[in-house]
Amino acid sequence: MNNTGQSVKSIYLPATITIRDLAKVIDVSPIDVIKKLMANGVMANINQQIDFDTAAIVAAEMGYEASLEIEELEKKQDFGEIPLWRQIILSEDSSQLTNRPPVVTILGHVDHGKTTLLDAIRNTNVAGEEAGGITQHIGAYQIEHDGRLITFLDTPGHAAFTAMRARGAQGADVVVLVVAADDGVMPQTKEAAAHAKAAHVPIIVALNKIDKPNADVDRVKQQLAEIGLVPDEWDGDTIVVPISAKQKKGLEDLMEAILLVADNMDIKANPHGKIIGTVIEARIDRAKGVQATLLVQNGTLEVGDVVIAGTSYGKLKAMFDHTGKKVRKAGPSSPVSVMGLNDVPHAGEMFEVVESEKDARARILARSQSQQTTDAGTKKPITLEQLFDRFQAGDVRELRLIIKADVQGSLEPIVSSLKELSEGDIAVNILHAETGNISENDVMLASASNAVIIGFNVQADSAVKHMAEAEGVSIRLYDIIYRLTEDVEKALKGMLEPEEKEVILGHAEVRAVFHISKVGNIAGSYVTDGEIRRNARIRVLRKGETVGVGAISSLKHLTEDVREIKQGYECGIAVKGFDAFEKGDILECFAIEKAIVNKDIF
Ligand code: GDP
């Protein structure tokens, strides 16, 4: 209620709005808006733009509570400190917030028992399910424990789903990390822990397979402590619950631990507020059309609502819960399978409810137009330089790094010297440090958490580099420790030199090797993708390993010298300092570019 005794109505406003438009939205005469502004010491005419804060003050005086439009919040959340859905809940009137069930995602190394655990929990506890009823796999389900609900995201657990796991951690309130007691902490355990850490989501460890004779609980606890998950019985803050998913043992304890952790957090939403949530999965069914599972995160979704998710939209014709039962409404933390969207939205995409289908079409058009203008900017790598820029602007408080090194002996001093660099407000946050080459998983983690990957005496193969480019992730490789720490320090202090970046131009396959006396061997090659440029450099790859690197000394098409040669054509290539070509070698053509840095910010 506002001070005039009328109930407060919610509206959404853009970052700036003209007085004329604001008057329309709050249904008053523009003159009244101008009068209110004058009373607050602001002189403005009808076509003048005012900012959101000013508009919100005027709106409040007229009995409206204004929130910033989702698109605006999306722009702000570039650096993803807090997921958008959380920001929206935070922007709700706090007196309207009520508790909602915690949303839990189960992560862990392959074969450690995620699927078995999800099935065991579902079969023993599924809420509201009739005995013997067939459960519907919709990507999420709810169970009841002690009269309270818990929502589980049922994300696939294979390595290929790293991207989904990254999003899963962002959409969840609690992560249950499954670790097999006979196998211990493995690469994907560490990676999952890093995802949860990056998303600031608390972790409960389910120490699984304790029924196995070779289960070694103490050893695994020790390993967990080593990766920063110190068990609570050792005075740490990670709850470790021993379970056997197969024998359905310890599940009650696990549910209790989840509710305990949830009780220590503010897991709330406004069931009457802005209706938003996340697409869990979506597919097309030949008989039923598009079927999408939506997790409602705020507000209450109802049949008949017009939903928009990415570029798909539609009026909801029917909704089903995870047991396949038809429902008309779904409140916060409920997963529902819906029918009525015109197209398949992407998993992980946010959805919201809009006024009408006309409104939905207009929004999608506006989105695709702004997408076209910002496309070039959105996927640019986040470089150390840009991170510093963000520091300055106060957008990020920490420099997130993923460290890969050749051996443990170099990893440890790197990590400890980088940690020492944290200073004042700016912290170095090492999300993940491990030995081994840079992998696609590292890139996914960096992309999901806006981190920079630092490699020491390791490599990134071309698939990884391509992925990093597509995901906008910066990879920096070093072979001298002090150069590495110096660069990070410079980045923190904002004195970084322009980064030299390698750009891959194309690849060619060696089909024949010709020997020309006095010149040496020429690689008769076929350009398989991109192009080969005369003034660029070549890396010779054999079975994935680099066997030579050098500038191109000659590039010919038939007998003619050429400046470049495109995909689908044959050419003869000679490389300075290397001529031991073999049939089947891959020639990777690359150029070195200097990243353009705005010196003014330093
Ligand atoms: P996921 O890859 O993490 O989803 O692992 P799965 O759930 O598919 O389990 C991998 C294997 O471990 C399967 O053969 C399961 O039967 C087995 N498994 C899972 N949990 C347990 C457990 O608590 N005890 C024993 N002995 N085996 C288990």
Confidence band, pLDDT 50/70/90 cuts, at residue 11 = confident
Kindly state the average pLDDT of the residues 511-516. Answer: 90
Q: Does the Cβ of 248 fall within 6 Å of ligand 1?
A: no
State yes or no: pLDDT of 382 exceeds 60.
no
In 3D space, the residue among 206, 99, 114, 105 whose CA is nearest the CA of residue 148 turns out to be: 99
CB atoms within 10 A of CB 594: 10
Tell me which range, 34-38, 440-444, 522-526, is most confidently predicted by mean pLDDT. 522-526
Q: Does the Cβ of 171 fall within 6 Å of ligand 1?
A: no
Whole-number Å distance, alpha carbon 384 to ligand 1 midpoint, is 41
What does the pLDDT read at residue 70?
56
Give the Cα separation of 105 and 103 in Å (integer).
Answer: 7
CB contact at 8 A, 104 and 152: yes
Q: Does the Cβ of 209 fall within 6 Å of ligand 1?
A: yes
* Residue bearing the CA closest to ligand 1, atom 11: 111
Q: Which of 221-235, 408-422, 487-501 has the lowest mean pLDDT?
A: 487-501
Q: Does the Cβ of 159 fall within 6 Å of ligand 1?
A: no
Whole-number Å distance, alpha carbon 442 to ligand 1 midpoint, is 26
Q: Which two tokens stand for residue 157?
A: 């657990």
Q: Which two tokens stand for residue 47?
A: 């076509």
Q: Does the Cβ of 223 fall within 6 Å of ligand 1?
A: no
Whole-number Å distance, alpha carbon 210 to ligand 1 midpoint, is 11
What is the crossing angle of helices 52-61 and 30-39, to 10°?
100
Please count the CA atoms within 13 angstroms of the CA of 387 that sit on its side-chain side: 29
Which ligand 1 atom is nearest residue 119's CA?
A: 7
| Residues 6 or more apart in contact with residue 422 via CB below 8 angstroms | 428
Kindly state the average pLDDT of the residues 143-165. Answer: 68
Query: The whole model's pTM is what?
Result: 0.56
Q: Does the Cβ of 156 fall within 6 Å of ligand 1?
A: no
CB atoms within 10 A of CB 477: 16
Among 110, 111, 212, 216, which residue has the most ligand 1 atoms within 8 Å of its CB, making it the best to mutate? 111
Give the Cα separation of 118 and 136 in Å (integer).
Answer: 13
Question: What's the pLDDT tens digit per position in 553-576?
Answer: 999 988 888 899 999 999 999 999
Whole-number Å distance, alpha carbon 209 to ligand 1 midpoint, is 7
Mean pLDDT of the chain: 81
CB contact at 8 A, 29 and 36: no
Question: What's the pLDDT tens digit per position in 452-483?
Answer: 899 998 988 888 888 888 888 889 888 888 88
CB atoms within 10 A of CB 245: 26
Whole-number Å distance, alpha carbon 116 to ligand 1 midpoint, is 6
Q: Does the Cβ of 340 fall within 6 Å of ligand 1?
A: no
The SS3 of residue 414 is: helix
Among 109, 176, 246, 249, which residue has the most ligand 1 atoms within 8 Å of its CB, making it the best to mutate? 246
Question: What's the pLDDT tens digit per position in 571-592?
Answer: 999 999 999 999 999 999 998 7
Work out whether the CA dihedral 78, 81, 83, 88 comes out positive or negative. Answer: negative
Work out whether the CA dihedral 594, 600, 601, 602 comes out positive or negative. Answer: positive
State yes or no: pLDDT of 291 exceeds 60.
yes
